[in-house]
Structure 1
């Protein structure tokens, strides 16, 4: 049975579900940072997913990346799968901008996370809902 890793649960806000993945918002207001977590038990690596699930993960991450890049006019989209700290398979999708706090370096380990204030979180959710509308083609269902 799928359960979200405790570290991911502590560091994120659950936004909704795709057919395969749970969509999370990293609680760091420094970057528009989403995470996709396939809802499959005991999966650590992409190659452990079925072929169909691998393709679906690519579809979901590509859709999120494209929509965020367009909505936010990002300089670069960073999509990564590390798993060094959290073994559960999860994909980071981060909109990057020249001049953001870590630019041009990776976001990991550069600065402490800046948690969203309640107002910032509401504004960010509004922006994300505009960028990532409910879409029958991709199957995003918002939890909020």
Structure 2
């Protein structure tokens, strides 16, 4: 079985690039800078299903992404989670949070309908993150 991105992630996200293990996506919701790492391994639902080296690499890629986003977007807090109740494929959310965002201090899931980015906002965000993330 080969890796395939879950259709919901394909539909809801904008592809940015790849790290060694993970594909990087941006959630198409302009209310929050929201990025998702998806390990490119077929059939994964849980982090423990990765081998030890892949778990370490996932931790490195996630930490690198979180630190870079926190600095780029001047985050008050980074929310990082692998929930998977709606999309069973292993994916890790990295959401930049501000004390002034409309969902603060609650989690963002299911709080408000997504507000898709404009084409210009997508271009601006991609330009902002690609160089610092070496994409």
What TM-score comes out, normalization by structure 1 length?
0.90
Give the 3-state SS of the residue equivalent to 1:16 in structure 2.
strand
Query: Relative contact order (alpha carbons < 8 A, sep ≥ 6): 1 or 2 greater?
Result: 1
Correspondence 1:94 to 2:103: no
Show the counterpart of 1:16. Answer: 17
Task: Give the unaligned 5+ runs of structure 2.
Answer: none
Cα distance in 2, alignment partners of residues 111 and 127 from structure 1: 25
| Runs of 4 or more consecutive aligned structure 1 residues displaced over 3 Å after TM superposition | none
Could you list the per-position Cα deviations for residues 53-86 of structure 1 after superposition, in whole angstroms to 9, with x for gaps in the alignment? 1011100000000011111110000000000000
Cα distance in 1, alignment partners of residues 122 and 132 from structure 2: 15
Taking the TM superposition and a 5 Å limit, the aligned residue runs for 1:1-144 are 1-132=2-133, 134=134, 142=135
Cα distance in 2, alignment partners of residues 29 and 17 from structure 1: 22
Conserved? CA contact 1:68–1:131, under 8 Å? no
Quote the RMSD (CA, aligned, Å): 0.8
User: How many residues are treated as equivalent by the alignment?
Assistant: 134
Cα distance in 2, alignment partners of residues 124 and 101 from structure 1: 20
